[in-house]
Structure 1
Amino acid sequence: MEQIILKGKVFPEIIYRKTGSGPALLLVHGFPANPLLWREIIPELSSRYTLLMPDFFAVPGSWMVDGHNSMDMLAEGFAAILDNEKVERTVIIGHSMGGYMGLAFAGKYPSRLHGLSLVHSSPVPDDEARAEGRRKTVAILESGGKRLFLNKMVKALFPDEFNDKHPEVYKRQTEEAIAVDDQSLVAFYRAIMERADTRSVVQGLSCPVQYLIGEKDSLANIRKELAQKSLAKTSFVSIFKNAGHMVMLEEPDAVLATLNRFLSYCLAEGQE
């Protein structure tokens, strides 16, 4: 997997990974992970597609300006990657935070999308209770409580039965999260907290939108997520009854199957 360091117009430095061949996909990891979040599905996807994977935490201070970023700024970073690769249109597959970034990109560059896949992600902003929880989390992170918060957060990403059966996955994801530098954790969490309501963006898209939903996702409101399926002109919805917030690690074969159907539709000849 190739690592590319790009000097951007918005960010002094952005880093992304590249592998595979074929039509280009933007595969965007969530918080607080890295492109290896997709490790279980990269081999098959890369046999058919060129995977461009932003790596937000590889180098402290990258993907930020003076310690800050925003969803709109991150969307500009995606445009810089596509321009560097000479890719006019793509499909974005974004997990959680990565989906929020994909929605911001869709708002700014709708004509550059063949499709948008939201993996445990939604265009709905936080309600006040969730927003207040996020503000408290920022305070915890800024006061040195990173390890305690991340241990608890990563455990909640998976159902209890998955953690019991696969403790090595929870341990690995926790270690990768704790390795992220403190400044990046706060900056990206603030960007999540301050993201816009993008339901009107989805309504305006001409490309298909996909939702991958875990029925045991403790971080999501399933009813609220399902209510969004009618926003897009063309929607694909997959519900994983035994999955939490990390379906690409919990049920990779099922994820590949549903992604391949979506990608085939989006990239079919003549599909607009």
Structure 2
Amino acid sequence: MTIHYEVSGKGYPVVFLHGYGETHKIWDHYREKLSNKYKVITPDLPGFGKSDSLPYEHSLDMVANSIYDCLKKLNVAECIIMGHSLGGYITLEIAKRFPNIVSHIGLIHSSALADTEEKKEGREKSIEFIQRHGVEKFIESFVPMLFHENHRDKLQETIQAIVEEGSKIPEKTLTDYMLAMRDRSDSLDFIKEFEGSILYVYGEEDPSIPVALSKSQIKFMKHPYLKNLPKTGHMGMFEEEAEVLQAISKFIEVTHK
């Protein structure tokens, strides 16, 4: 299978993984800004964007394998990996399975916790909606709600661009990943033992990951670098782009002095 990716710059490799219903394009601005100092790699996860789908049922460890294989083909021996939401879950899987390649990680509106029963039910309802109404209607309803209401008007063009890209995703990709997220195990034991630093970016008004759940994980991290975003939903990399970019830049700089 082929994983599509964009690469810019030279230097220490930094990998950004997109979230559910997204493509590598959500990181375009970050790749452009950071590539003056680092080699920035932004793949499309299997089934999203221009990447081939997995030839079997999706699980997060299989997705992690495919991204690892892509990085090996790019001769990446060690890197920082950061992921938004689903991309964060996969970041954790890569770091668990291939610790030698991952120095530090970033979890951006993501979680080391497994789904609650309520969250699992929500994912099952989403699958039913997708199967009944189709990908386009799901993405049109799903994406805007990830942004805090205070940001939706000013970011309307961004939201529309994500919707347009997301509407091209195959139905099976969306339903398979929804099941994979529902069935993932928690990673608390891993973050307790992880010796690298963890950049943890969370929104105070995140509708997908309640702020109390975000804060509950911090005590398990050995070396946390925290960035909380008030009046921000699940899409801080757009809602508060300057702040998130600054947090990421400082994190990379501090961990690689």
User: Normalising by the residue count of structure 1, what TM-score does the alignment of the two structures yield?
Assistant: 0.89
Counterpart CA distance in 2 for 1:165 and 1:24 is: 32
**Residue 198 (structure 1) aligns with:** 187
Distance 1:91 1:58, change over 3 A: same
* Per-residue deviation, residues 91-131 of structure 1 (Å, max 9, x unmatched): 01100000000011111122321111000001001110110
**Residue 58 (structure 1) aligns with:** 49
**Residue 218 (structure 1) aligns with:** 207
Which of 156, 163, 174 pairs up with 1:174? Answer: 163
Deviates more, 1:93-102 or 1:232-241: 232-241
Counterpart CA distance in 2 for 1:43 and 1:15 is: 17
Counterpart CA distance in 1 for 2:219 and 2:99 is: 18
1:141 aligns with 2:115: no
* Per-residue deviation, residues 131-180 of structure 1 (Å, max 9, x unmatched): 01111211222234323322221011111121123322222221111121
**Residue 242 (structure 1) aligns with:** 231
Which of 228, 234, 253 pairs up with 1:264? Answer: 253
**Contact 2:135–2:170 (CA<8 Å) still a contact in 1?**
no
Deviates more, 1:39-48 or 1:120-129: 39-48
Counterpart CA distance in 2 for 1:163 and 1:113 is: 35
1:252 aligns with 2:234: no
* Per-residue deviation, residues 195-230 of structure 1 (Å, max 9, x unmatched): 111111111111011110111211111011111111
Deviates more, 1:181-190 or 1:211-220: 181-190
The one-letter code of the counterpart of 2:253 is: S
Q: Secondary structure at the match of 2:153?
A: helix
**Contact 1:114–1:267 (CA<8 Å) still a contact in 2?**
no
| Greater than 4 Å deviation, 4+ residue runs | none
1:79 aligns with 2:68: yes
**Contact 1:40–1:248 (CA<8 Å) still a contact in 2?**
no
**Contact 1:38–1:249 (CA<8 Å) still a contact in 2?**
no
Q: Secondary structure at the match of 2:189?
A: helix
1:43 aligns with 2:43: no
**Residue 9 (structure 1) aligns with:** none
Q: How does 1:15-164 map to 2 (within 5 A)?
A: 15-56=4-45, 57-59=48-50, 62-66=52-56, 68-164=57-153
Q: Secondary structure at the match of 2:176?
A: helix
Counterpart CA distance in 2 for 1:98 and 1:210 is: 14
Counterpart CA distance in 2 for 1:54 and 1:190 is: 21
Q: Secondary structure at the match of 1:21?
A: coil
Q: Secondary structure at the match of 1:40?
A: helix
The one-letter code of the counterpart of 1:20 is: G
> Structure 2 unaligned runs (5+)?
none
Counterpart CA distance in 1 for 2:6 and 2:120 is: 32
User: Normalising by the residue count of structure 2, what TM-score does the alignment of the two structures yield?
Assistant: 0.94
The one-letter code of the counterpart of 2:118 is: A
**Contact 2:31–2:41 (CA<8 Å) still a contact in 1?**
no
**Contact 1:110–1:205 (CA<8 Å) still a contact in 2?**
no
CA-atom RMSD in angstroms: 1.5
Counterpart CA distance in 1 for 2:239 and 2:9 is: 23
Superposition deviation, residue 41 in structure 1: 2.0
Superposition deviation, residue 232 in structure 1: 1.7
> How many residue pairs were aligned?
255
The one-letter code of the counterpart of 2:49 is: A
Superposition deviation, residue 16 in structure 1: 2.0
Superposition deviation, residue 260 in structure 1: 1.2
Q: Secondary structure at the match of 1:14?
A: coil
Identity %: 27
Counterpart CA distance in 1 for 2:199 and 2:53 is: 26
Superposition deviation, residue 80 in structure 1: 0.9
> Structure 1 unaligned runs (5+)?
1-11
